[in-house]
Structure formats: C-alpha cells, structure tokens
C-alpha cells in the first residue's frame, strides 16, 4: 500500500526516465488531477523527494502558462556526483536521509541491490545503538567511509 506521495514520486521518475534529456515539465493542476490529489500534494512530493540533495533541480513559473520543470542533475563526472553525495551526508545524518542517499546511489547504478541492502541496514537506528547526538555522527562517518571505499574502487584496479 504505497502512499499517494510514493505514487507521485514514481510517476515523476518514470517521466524523467522516458525523457530524452532528464528534464520533465508538468502542470501542477493537471498532474494533480490525473493522480487524484490536491495540487499542493505535488509540492510536498517535490519538497521531500526531488531536492538538490536528491539530485534534482526544480524550476517553475506561476500564472497563465505556468509550469513546473524537474531536472535530474547530470553530474559532469563521478567526482561531481560523489561530491554531492558526500556533501549531503555531512558530519551527521539522520536515518531517513541516509536511506534516501543510498536509494539515490542505487538508482544511479552506483551500487548493486545487495550493496544497497547492506548499507541500509548499516544505517538503521536499531543497529547503531548509540545515544542520539552521536548516533547521527557515527552514521555519517560510517556511511561516508563505506561509500568512499566501494565507490572509488570502481575505476582503480
């Protein structure tokens, strides 16, 4: 039973995949109507799942002929992509944010499904049994270390 937000997310991602240039332009009201939700629900989804950290840019325009344009960032090279990922993790990261990052990596084809699962578990609060201010820091360090090890190993040897 995926939530409405999940459905909207999937729908938009499908549109982007089908697009030639990773850019998709929608009309908020029209999309809301098609997916049977209130228009502001679209904003919620964009705000929670299509942020810069997730690798997307949003441009929009109001008024007659208005639109929302969703752009999937094309990272120049792996470096830029990883830069963005590591920046998003920072010195401390919540479980949900970590999960989103891992998901993005998987969707970008940087890690396998098994690796995704491994990482997702490593980031679980039930596993990282440390009191809270430190847990997020430990999670950040752990995730960054693991990613650093596995990602830049690709090109080398």
Is residue 109 close enough to count as binding its own copies by CB under 8 A? no
Q: Cα(73)–Cα(75) distance, rounded to whole angstroms?
A: 6
Stretch near its own copies under the rule CB under 8 A, chosen from 15-23, 32-40, 76-84, 147-155: 147-155
Pick what 48 binds: DNA, its own copies, none; C-beta below 5 to 8 Å, kind-dependent.
Answer: DNA
Secondary element (H or E) of residue 27: none
Nearest CA among 60, 137, 75 for reference residue 110 = 75
Q: Cα(146)–Cα(84) distance, rounded to whole angstroms?
A: 16
Compute CA 76 distance to the chain's CA centroid, rounded to the nearest angstrom. 18
Q: Which CB atom, from 108 or from 118, has the smaller least distance to its own copies?
A: 118
Q: Which CB atom, from 132 or from 153, has the smaller least distance to DNA?
A: 132
Task: Determine which residue in the list 20, 21, 77, 153 makes contact with its own copies, applying CB under 8 A.
Answer: 153
Q: Which CB atom, from 81 or from 98, has the smaller least distance to DNA?
A: 98
Burial of 136 (0-12, 13-18, 19+ CB in 10 A): buried
Is residue 113 close enough to count as binding its own copies by CB under 8 A? yes
Residue ranges in contact with DNA by CB under 7 A: 1, 3-6, 26-30, 37-44, 48, 58, 60-68, 96, 125
């Amino acid at each position: 039973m995926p939530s409405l937000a999940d459905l909207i997310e999937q729908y938009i991602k499908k549109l982007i995949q089908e697009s030639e240039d990773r850019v998709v332009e929608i009309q908020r009201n029209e999309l809301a109507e098609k997916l049977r939700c209130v228009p502001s629900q679209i904003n919620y989804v964009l705000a929670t799942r299509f942020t810069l950290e997730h690798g997307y840019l949003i441009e929009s325009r109001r008024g007659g002929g208005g639109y929302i344009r969703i752009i999937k960032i094309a990272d120049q090279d792996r470096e830029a992509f990883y830069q963005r990922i590591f920046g998003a993790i920072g010195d401390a990261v919540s479980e949900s944010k970590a999960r989103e990052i891992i998901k993005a990596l998987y969707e970008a084809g940087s890690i396998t499904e098994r690796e995704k699962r491994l990482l997702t578990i490593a980031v679980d609060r039930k596993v990282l049994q440390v009191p809270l201010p430190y847990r997020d820091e430990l999670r950040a360090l752990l995730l960054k270390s693991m990613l650093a090890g596995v990602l830049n190993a690709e090109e080398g040897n």
